[in-house]
Amino acid sequence: MSIKFDGRDIKDGSRVIANFKDGKNLRDGSSSGGKVLGNVRDGKNVRDGSSSGGRTMCNIADGKNIRDGSSSGGKVLIKIQDAAKAIGSSSYGASTALIWWYLAR
């Protein structure tokens, strides 16, 4: 699957498979009312579902790597710049980690 993230929509070819319209929640499909897959409410932890208290899937606490779980000493899964390339984005922030975790890993 070759996906592209344009800052708002995540596309597989011309089909929108998910969206990040509100800047905090990754939603299934093109609707802003779609099912929430995950969120980055605090800006460094990728959490499951829409709650800020949801299970932490991965984090970008050091700003360079996507790490497993909530610890800044967790296992490095991938560098943020490599994850950005994988999703066709130039962003190196929490949104890149969120989209990579749910759609490209």
Q: For 6-20, write each residue's pLDDT tens digit.
A: 999 999 999 999 999
- The two beta strands, 56-59 and 65-68, are antiparallel
In the chain, the amino acid numbered 11 is K
Per-residue pLDDT at 1 exceeds 70: no
**Mean pLDDT rounded to a whole number for the chain:** 94
**Cα separation of 91 and 99, whole Å?**
11
Q: What is the pTM of this model?
A: 0.93
How far is residue 91's CA from residue 30's CA, in Å, rounded to a whole number? 20
pLDDT in tens, 70-95: 999 999 999 999 999 999 999 999 99
Range of the domain at 23: 3-104
Number of alpha carbons in the 13 Å side-chain half-sphere of residue 103? 30
When divided into structural domains, the chain yields a total of: 1
Q: How many helices (H) and strands (E) does the chain have?
A: 2, 9
